[in-house]
Copies of this chain bind each other. A is one copy, B any other.
Amino acid sequence: MPTQVAEPELAARLRLVLNRLARRLRSQTPDDLSPSLTSALVTIELRGPITLGGLAACERVTPPSVTRMVATLERRGLVRREADPADRRVARVTLTTAGARVVRRTRTRKTAFLARRLARLEASEVAVVRQALPVLERLLEDDR
């Protein structure tokens, strides 16, 4: 049964628990990929064949960094470069089968961690989390 939280403490305690849960989640990644490479891989999965410039914008890193990251991912066989037929200056990258597998496995591992924790809760507590989920998503809305 959840205890009542005093109003002024709500934001402070929420901040703490969000930080800690995210840190715990981040630690669930025994793959030898760095956080930035993992993030890039996920973006490449989502944004299909993406240009290096586009990837730099999405990841908020500089073009030289993207060059390096893509070179690393390519060397490991996780992404593939394709020439853009319309503009020969641009290079586009997509996931290879192996890359897609890595993304899927990472995601599964982190989700499984949370699923295990959720499974320890009372049914009523899970219901509370389920109810709070859309509200937490609302906290991310309308960015500035």
Contact A5 B133 (CB under 8 A): yes
| Complex contact B10–A130 (CB within 8 A) | yes
Q: In the complex this chain forms, how many copies of it are found?
A: 2
A87 to chain B, nearest CB (A): 32
Q: Are B10 and A118 in contact (CB under 8 A)?
A: yes
Q: Mark interface residues in A124-135 (1 if CB within 8 Å of B CB, else 0).
A: 011011111111
Cβ contact within 8 Å between A25 and B17: no
Q: Are B133 and A13 in contact (CB under 8 A)?
A: yes
Contact (Cβ within 8 A) B132 A10: no
What residues of B have a CB within 8 angstroms of the CB of A15 in the complex?
Answer: 25, 110-111, 114
If the complex has contacts A111-B12, A114-B139, A139-B114, are A130 and B4 also in contact, measured as CB distance less than 8 A? yes
B residues less than 8 Å from A134 (CB atoms):
2-3, 5
Say whether B11 contacts A111, CB under 8 Å.
yes
Interface size bucket, A side?
35 or more
Residue of B nearest to A28 (CB): B15
A76 interface residue per 8 A CB criterion: no
Contact flags (1/0) for A95-125 with B, using CB distance below 8 Å?
0000000000001001110110110110001
What residues on B are CB-neighbors of A86 within 8 Å?
A: none
| Contact of A128 with B121 in the complex, beta carbons under 8 Å | no
Chain A contacts to B: CB under 8 angstroms: 2-5, 10-15, 17-25, 107, 110-112, 114-115, 117-118, 120-121, 125-126, 128-140, 142-143
